[in-house]
Amino acid sequence: MSAYDPNNIFAKILRGEIPCFKVYEDDKTLAFLDIMPRATGHTLVIPKAPARNILDIEAEDLAAVIRTARKIAVAAKAAFGADGITLNQYSEPAGGQEVFHLHVHVIPRHDGVPMKPAASIREDMGVLKANADKLAAALAG
Ligand code: 5GP
């Protein structure tokens, strides 16, 4: 496995070098919307600690990511009227990983609606902003 690359896109988001539609943050994790969502409200949860994927993350950092993923799942179900939630985590190219800072996808799902293909259609920025606000409000409430 390659070493962690501090210039990956999510590391840049963590450092504030590029923007994101943030929905939640605590001392160990950050959650923001995927810009090419597979469904409305598709959120990415990442650790603040540098970890490439499931193969090198510290157990405590992974536990924090999962705690946050659960918070997002509960809030997203309410915010978007979802019938269910899909969690995905990909590790290494063979596992489908494209960005090499560990992330868990939290994807709100509706009965009978298939997910769009991964990383395929860039969502309108206004739509992302509105969805981030809606999810952040559900998290705060
Ligand atoms: P994975 O590594 O799990 O295969 O996929 C990486 C995910 O990151 C994809 O769902 C893709 O849409 C998302 N993504 C790629 N670049 C950016 C970006 O600059 N900002 C955000 N918010 N998401 C991104």
Low-confidence ranges of the chain (pLDDT < 50): none
Q: Which residues carry out catalysis?
A: 103
Instruction: Give the span between the Cα atoms of 131 and 7, in whole angstroms.
Output: 27
Q: Which domains does the chain have, with CATH numbers?
A: 9-140 (3.30.428.10)
pLDDT at 141: 83
Amino acid identity of 63? A
Ligand 1 pocket test, candidate residues 44, 107, 121, 128, most atoms within 8 A of CB: 44
| 128-141 exposure pattern, b = at least 16 Cβ within 10 A, e = fewer | beebbebbbebbee
Q: What does the buried/exposed string (b/e) look like for 87-111 if buried means 16 or more CB atoms within 10 Å of the residue's CB? A: eebbbeeeeebebbbbbbbbbbbee
Q: For residue 129, which phi and psi values (nearest 5 degrees)? A: -60, -45
pLDDT digits (tens, 9 = 90+) for 69-87: 999 999 999 999 999 999 9
| Pairwise CA distance, residues 90 & 1, whole Å | 14
DSSP-derived 3-state class of residue 67: helix
pLDDT of residue 38: 98
pLDDT of the residue at 15: 98
> pTM of the entire structure?
0.98
Cβ pair 100, 8 in contact under 8 A: yes
Distance 23 CA to ligand 1 centre (A): 15
Residues near ligand 1 (Cβ within 6 A)? 9, 20, 32-36, 90, 96-99, 103, 118-119
CA of residue 100 to ligand 1 center, whole Å: 10
Instruction: Look at residue 14 in the predicted model and tell me its pLDDT.
Output: 98
Q: Which residue lies with its CA nearest to atom 20 of ligand 1?
A: 35
